[in-house]
């Protein structure tokens, strides 16, 4: 398919992020995964589980406009999810799922036609978003959370 350089960059970011995250996590001792910067902030463990949930939504949100005309894209309460018991699980399975989600999303985006990149979904708070805008959001989403993890490490000195 014909893609722009920017679209290729989104796809590349999606493919590379899980390994980037794994390298960061490999540097963090297990006993520090639940440390936070402050009350009400997420731990590294919660951030990783959040990334899995967010990118599950990403795959779904990108699919919807491909098959429906201007569908409503689902929203979710990230903090409610972060308080659930599954966010305390070990990270091995979460990382494996994140790898799979990123591969699926990158493969899906790779196969899109220019018209499909331009398809629109309606986000409850952001309004109309093209598939390309969704790709951009999720390509950069993980890097913001890597910064959060770096902040946790800096505060706690590990």
The arithmetic mean of pLDDT across residues 29-46, rounded, is: 94
Q: What pLDDT was estimated at residue 132?
A: 99
| Domains (range + CATH), the chain | 5-156 (1.20.120.450)
Q: What is the pLDDT of residues 79-125, one digit of tens each?
A: 888 888 787 899 999 999 999 999 999 999 999 999 999 999 999 99
The arithmetic mean of pLDDT across residues 71-76, rounded, is: 94
- The pLDDT of residue 25 is above 70: yes
Residue 11: closest CA among 134, 151, 148: 134
- Rounded to the nearest integer, the mean pLDDT of the chain is 95
Q: Cβ neighbours of residue 151 under 8 Å, at least 6 residues apart?
A: 37
Q: What pLDDT was estimated at residue 22?
A: 98
What percent of the chain has pLDDT above 90? 87
Q: What pLDDT was estimated at residue 1?
A: 65
- The pLDDT of residue 76 is above 80: yes
Q: What pLDDT was estimated at residue 20?
A: 98
Q: What pLDDT was estimated at residue 68?
A: 98
Distance CA 74, CA 57 (A): 8
Q: What is the pLDDT of residues 138-153, one digit of tens each?
A: 999 999 999 999 999 9
What percent of the chain has pLDDT above 70? 99
Alpha-carbon separation of residue 15 from 38, 48, 78, 118, 141 (angstroms): 31, 16, 23, 21, 13
3-state SS assignment for residue 21 = helix
Q: What pLDDT was estimated at residue 2?
A: 86
């Amino acid at each position: 398919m014909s893609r722009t350089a920017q679209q290729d960059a989104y796809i590349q970011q999606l493919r590379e992020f899980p390994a980037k995250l794994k390298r960061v996590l490999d540097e963090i001792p297990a006993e520090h995964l639940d440390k936070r910067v402050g009350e009400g902030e997420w731990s590294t463990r919660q951030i990783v589980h959040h990334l899995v949930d967010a990118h599950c939504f990403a795959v779904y949100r990108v699919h919807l406009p491909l098959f429906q005309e201007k569908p409503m894209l689902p929203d979710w309460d990230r903090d409610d999810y972060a308080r659930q018991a599954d966010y305390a699980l070990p990270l091995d399975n979460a990382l494996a799922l994140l790898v799979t989600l990123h591969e699926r999303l990158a493969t899906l985006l790779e196969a899109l036609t220019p018209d499909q990149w331009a398809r629109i979904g309606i986000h409850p708070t952001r309004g109309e978003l093209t598939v390309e805008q969704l790709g951009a959001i999720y390509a950069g989403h993980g890097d913001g959370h890597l910064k959060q993890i770096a902040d946790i490490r800096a505060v706690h000195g590990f």
